[in-house]
Amino acid sequence: MFRNIRVVTEPDYDAMSRAAAEIFAEALKEKPNGVYGFATGGTPVGMYKELISMAEASEIDFSQVTTFNLDEYHPINPDDPQSYIYFMRQNLFNAVGLKDSQINIPNGTAADPVAECAAYEDKILNAGGIDLQILGIGNNGHIGFNEPSEAFTAQTNYTALTEMTVKANARFFNNADEVPKHAITMGIRSIMLAKRILLLCGGEGKASILHDALLGPITPLVPASILQTHPNVTVVTDKAAAALL
């Protein structure tokens, strides 16, 4: 127990992905028509693979869920392989048979990204809020694209990516110049309103920031540190990332 937060430490990435998938599957079985929040990035890919296997084996069923993704680059086309909607379709949505009507993700082509933020926030509220939100954590402590700053963000917001995030995400592009420099992201308040949060964090490169997020001061300079004040957070990690806890 780290203050409020339950931490599940597994030996390696595969075990971590299985453990996270099992937690998600239990929640889905309990509430088949729930609202589930997803993250992109490298970390949850293993968990998504496990969920696909479970769905293929008819152990879980996505037919009644509503989904919301944390964020999307802006501007970016939905059929751009680097877009987050493309990523989600490739890594989870297509294989578990989600229909377009079940999927919500900020519109990377919105002409007015600020209006898109307000509309996205309304959609979350109208869906009754998020039952379970999956999160990763950036090397700088960001969640969604809520970057370290002087103040916590509130609602879904249009934001500039930090240089560190652009560099970290350049691994998915040909080079850093191709990484969009803005994104639309659920805000800290939007994330904190999720009834339950499942944060995945693996690898030794994340050990220091995971320590700061779970055990350091609660500060917007480490956005994930706000999770210490959420009543229902589970962190699933591997030994390498948990090394400093």
Q: Supply the residues annotated as catalytic.
A: 71, 140, 142, 147
When asked if residue 144 is in the footprint of ligand F6R (CB under 6 A), the reply is yes
When asked if residue 143 is in the footprint of ligand F6R (CB under 6 A), the reply is yes
When asked if residue 136 is in the footprint of ligand F6R (CB under 6 A), the reply is yes
Contact by Cβ (8 Å): 173, 83: no
Q: Which of these segments, 9-17, 50-58, 109-117, 130-138, binds ligand F6R (CB under 6 A)?
A: 130-138
Closest separation in Å from C-beta 180 to ligand F6R = 13
Where in 56-85 is the site for ligand F6R (CB under 6 A)?
70-71
Contact by Cβ (8 Å): 20, 26: no
Question: Which among 136, 141, 159, 132 is positioned nearest to 230, based on CA atoms?
Answer: 132
**Is cis: bond before 180, omega within 30 of 0?**
no
Closest separation in Å from C-beta 143 to ligand F6R = 5
When asked if residue 197 is in the footprint of ligand F6R (CB under 6 A), the reply is no
Q: How far is CA 95 from each of CA 91, 177, 207, rounded to the nearest angstrom?
A: 8, 32, 32
Contact by Cβ (8 Å): 184, 68: no
Determine which residue in the list 5, 23, 28, 43 makes contact with ligand F6R, applying CB under 6 A: 43
- How is residue 19 written in tokens? 């453990």
Determine which residue in the list 6, 29, 33, 42 makes contact with ligand F6R, applying CB under 6 A: 42
Residue 200 is inside which H or E element, if any?
A: strand 196-201
Closest separation in Å from C-beta 57 to ligand F6R = 26
First to last CA, the chain: 10
Closest separation in Å from C-beta 119 to ligand F6R = 19
**Binding site residues, ligand F6R, CB under 6 A:** 39-43, 70-71, 136-138, 142-145
